[in-house]
A = this chain, B = another copy of it.
């Protein structure tokens, strides 16, 4: 990196965030400030490791000229299934619904689960900075409403599922908010390290 940023905040204004979801965009901008937004349909590769999904998406976005670019992947993993569904959760929900995913834990006598968001900020094909946020909990019979697995995931320390919470309650258990806060920390560290190199 020969480029030197004056401030992380100024740099972030140049970053493209790839999403088709306005709510995600609002959530990201609440932590990282105003960014450039692009609604791209990028292929999701088959992997159990979210970082590899993020890397493939970042490469595809860079190839299309979006640089620097921020990519997000959120996954739900069951301990009893050795990490499945992980980033494949979308297909489990599509085939089996929330109830079916819960039954998978139940049939193995272990409903322990975690949700995880990985943000990858690609400065170029060789430089990715990650932010990670994890919320431990368990899968339960569906209660409440919301997107995807919200109704079957009950975070540790709560007696409600994500689907039963108000937006304010939900944000205190948000793997995405935690991942964004971690990304900001990692980005400040990276910035400090290149600033030091320049001295």
Contacts and interface: CB of A to CB of B under 8 A. Distances in A.
A83 interface: yes
A28 interface: no
A83 B95 contact: yes
A118 B81 CA distance: 28
Contacts of A47: 91
A84 interface: yes
A114 B56 CA distance: 31
How many subunits of this chain does the assembly comprise?
2
A90 interface: yes
Q: How large is the interface on A (under 10, 10 to 19, 20 to 34, 35 or more residues)?
A: 20 to 34
A148 to B, nearest CB: 15
Interface string A64-107: 00000000000000000111101110111011100010011001
Contacts of A96: 81-82, 84
B91 A95 contact: no
A48 interface: yes
Given A45-B43, A46-B45, A46-B90, A95 B81 contact: yes
A43 B95 CA distance: 23
A82 B97 CA distance: 10
Contacts of A84: 91-92, 95-96
Contacts of A103: 107-108
Interface in A155-179: none
A46 B50 CA distance: 12
6 contacts: A43-B45, A44-B45, A44-B46, A81-B95, A82-B96, A103-B108
